[in-house]
Structure 1
Amino acid sequence: MKKKLSQYIGLVAVSILLVACGDNVASDQESQSSMSDLATESYENQIIEINGLADHYHTGDSVELSALPEKETETTQWQWYTRENEESEWKVVSGQRTKDFIGEATADGLEIKAALVDDNDEPYAESEPAKIVIDDHHGHDEASKQIYAGYFEDDQVENRELSDFEGEWQSVFPYLQSGDLDEVFEHKAEESDAMTAAEYKDYYTIGYETTVDQVVIEGNQVTFYDDEKDYSGTYENDGYEILNYEKGNRGVRFVFKLVDGSDEMPEYIQFSDHNIFPEESHHYHLFWGDDRDTVLEEMDNWPTYYPADLDATGLVQDMLAH
């Protein structure tokens, strides 16, 4: 009887121990799951930016993007998605599991987004879509290349409206000062024996120098942002001028005249963007002053403006493509 009682007590003890162990395992699993859920929930409202997007690409250009989360994350689980347009379904991009995306520009209008994903590859935070714009405006036919280089006939030139330059624009001079454009100058030096990288930087420092950090063009209204002050004016078309350069090539200045606005705004603004007929501008050199002919003679200083939404990476990529 005592032996049976002892065996019974032993079985009860083992049962209690097993139940306790099971509870501990379940508790640990619940704890881990809870911690995972909390980690996921803490990033559900995470803002993810995509850096490195160029204003536009040429067919075949490399597309290099980086996802930048607003908050530090412990997870390294990323996934990239693409879709052909807003009506299409998102598709997973295979092999792209880090914060960096590397691809090729093959489809105009392609949308790309990055997402943080859980262990089941379910997204819990994602970026706004970035759109790939392909514009082979200068690119692949010989005639376009010749025009971009400054070789064209007078009868090819057509007048242009201010709407070709509409938008919000940023000066590239601050990027030069910060060293972000050094890669561009090094590339130029490698491609040509004309100057060293340092000499290219000196040349472009003179060319890009300006205190007008931003230009906004809307309709016929032009606004300069100069040292944190802004001035606006209304401009009308004043034709164009074909200029002959010492190197043998040529350029076109598209001229606009002030008709109303702040006293600080120049009487004349002149655009040069390597295009010679109506076409949306992707970047331009801007000249200004109160005497039309004097402004036309300026050849050394040509403040240059790119779309305001470009970051340093996108800006460099666009410059290297040209």
Structure 2
Amino acid sequence: MERQASEGIFADKDVQDRALSDWEGVWQSVNPYLLNGDLDPVLEQKAKKPGGKSVEEYRAYYKKGYATDVEQIGIEDDVIEFHVGQTVNSCKYRYSGYKILHYASGKKGVRYLFECQQGDANAPKFVQFSDHIIGPRKSQHFHIFMGNESQEALLKEMDNWPTYYPYALHKEQIVDEMLHH
């Protein structure tokens, strides 16, 4: 069932709540790896699939998808730290439930919603995680959606999904993960 869920095929009744601790750890953006060409083997593999886009089309797609200035994210004890250059903004977040999204492709996804509890924090007020997992389990990588308007506004975002892998992984390990998982 988990394999199908990771591919966007699951029954709504199988989706479960998750705690922020599922994403605990230190994470790095994969955007720099895309921009400097380290992810080219992944783009080349995708381009070989029947009906796929060209390498350049995939590069443009992921350039928009991965775009972010948040280079690193740290999560511990319900606090999320967002690292942008030398600046670190953080906030304590509370779980706000999940939303099941239905995509044009016929597949589904789940976003887990969290809200900043400190009014004076410079961190995003609203955060959503998507990691192709539909129940309590430690995340291996994730897409994050961040903003200050509302959860509803973030749920409409389909083109920009900054993506993070564990900070301890080297670029070769990230490429291997993307190619084989």
Cα separation, 1, equivalents of 2:119 and 2:74: 14
Kindly name which structure, 1 or 2, has the bigger radius of gyration based on alpha carbons.
1
Partner of 1:194: 52
* Alpha-carbon offset, residue 198 of structure 1: 1.2
Partner of 2:136: 278
TM-score, scaled relative to structure 1? 0.55
Cα separation, 1, equivalents of 2:110 and 2:152: 14
Q: Is the Cα contact below 8 Å between 1:233 and 1:265 reproduced in 2?
A: yes
**Closer, same or farther: CA 316–261 of 1 in aligned 2, 3 Å:** farther
Partner of 2:154: 295
Q: Deviations over 1:156-196 (max 9, x none)?
A: 00000000000000000000011000010001111232201
Find the residue that maps to 2:48 and give its secondary structure.
Answer: helix
Cα separation, 1, equivalents of 2:48 and 2:175: 16
TM-score, scaled relative to structure 2? 0.96
Cα separation, 1, equivalents of 2:47 and 2:7: 18
Find the residue that maps to 1:255 and give its secondary structure.
Answer: strand
* Alpha-carbon offset, residue 261 of structure 1: 6.5
Q: Is the Cα contact below 8 Å between 1:232 and 1:262 reproduced in 2?
A: no
**Does 2:72 match 1:217?**
no
> 2:42 is matched with which residue: 165, 184, 204?
184
> 1:205 is matched with which residue: 43, 63, 82?
63
> 2:87 is matched with which residue: 216, 220, 229?
229
Find the residue that maps to 1:247 and give its secondary structure.
Answer: coil
Cα separation, 2, equivalents of 1:208 and 1:265: 19
Alpha carbon RMSD of aligned pairs, Å? 1.1
Unaligned runs of 5+ in 1: 1-142
> 2:26 is matched with which residue: 168, 171, 189?
168
Partner of 1:315: 174
Q: Is the Cα contact below 8 Å between 1:158 and 1:277 reproduced in 2?
A: yes
**Paired AA for residue 175 in structure 2:** V
The alignment-based identity, stated in percent, is 44
Misfit runs of 4+, over 3 Å: none
**Paired AA for residue 241 in structure 1:** K
**Paired AA for residue 205 in structure 1:** K
Cα separation, 1, equivalents of 2:39 and 2:27: 17
**Paired AA for residue 175 in structure 1:** Y
* Alpha-carbon offset, residue 267 of structure 1: 1.1
Partner of 1:53: none
* Alpha-carbon offset, residue 226 of structure 1: 1.1
Deviates more, 1:205-214 or 1:218-227: 218-227
